[in-house]
Structure 1
Amino acid sequence: MNTRKHAGTLELRGERLCLDFTNTVGWHASDHPQEWLLSYADLLAWSRHAGIVTASQNEQLLQEARSRPALAEEVLRRAITLREACYRIFSCVVQDCSPKVEDLSILQNAYAQAMVHAQVVPIGERFTFNWPGDEQALDFPLWPIAHSATELLLSEELHRVKACPGDGCGWLFVDKSRNQSRRWCNGQDCGNRVRVRQHYQRQRTSRKS
């Protein structure tokens, strides 16, 4: 069994698709971030994991990417550009500062492209946007991501966006807890590391005193 961590196994802790996408970089707030989207295949693996594409769409898009490698590389570049713009925008939201016009423009352009392909579909008693799978459109995975980011910016949940304070982590998430008490991307990961370090520091301080 292959348990190696890769783009298709990353934790989805953001509570919104767009934030899960910004979290495809490990230690995003550090001087040594870990990139998980190293190829178009990685982008598809994550998209499959996040529920954007089906297994059959994944295979068909992979075949299309193999026949058009230059375009696949361009889509990957656009994906990373969109991801980093979203990361900076929502980081500004967390820090209560104004996002750069350039970043908002990147998102706006991606959203405009996405809405060209969107369809309005009924869900129960309401309606929503949906993107029919286009196995020849290599940028198909970017459409729902751009919509998710724009929707979050305009939603009442925007004030619930937080950044994990773990050293260098910087993962973003929507705090859906009732009293807005969530602090970590993962309490068993970043939370435990900080608690262990604080415990060690307290022990050192007590030994010195």
Structure 2
Amino acid sequence: MSEMSRAEADDASCIERSRRDPEVFAEVFRKHAPDITRYVTRRLGDDAADDVVAETFLTAFRQRDGYDLSHRSARPWLYGIATNLMRRHVRTEVRQLRLVQRTGVDSVTASFSERSDERLSAEASGRRLAGALAALPKGHRDALLLVAWGGLSYLEVSEALNIRLGTVQSRINRARGKLRKELGGINPLATISEEPLCE
């Protein structure tokens, strides 16, 4: 079992212990806050992200008694909470994407990843991509970005969004098709993946 798998497998027992000793929940925060922060910042920008991330962990803390301990990893649960909270910020997200579309500058990606030939080639289509992402229906954008930027599997997205696996697959396939058409045949997941963020 990898170090990451051991860490994730520990979430349920940590949450269970936190029901008796609330301070233990800080372990869940320390483990997952950096990834949740990058994901939310990537979607909403710095200003709204701080509030959403804080509210995500506050909501998780308050709902920890209802957490299903059969789910050893809290990742999908936390991404689901964050995604639900971001629904209040749809305009902010679309504004963020439109800003990247206009300027071609994505300060979040630049600050969290190293440049490579593949990244530079992806940036060449960044403006069109940002506009195409902004035009996607919210549910399709959520599913696609949880995979591409959150690093979740389709099954984890299903859990995070509380929707059927088939719905996740359908939304992602439709989003990919729309983005591929907008990007002139470029694979949209290769373009928007944030592999350095998932290290």
> Which TM-score band applies after superposition, normalised by the shorter structure?
0.3 to 0.5
Higher helix share: 2
Greater RCO, CA 8 A, separation 6+? 1
Higher strand share: 1
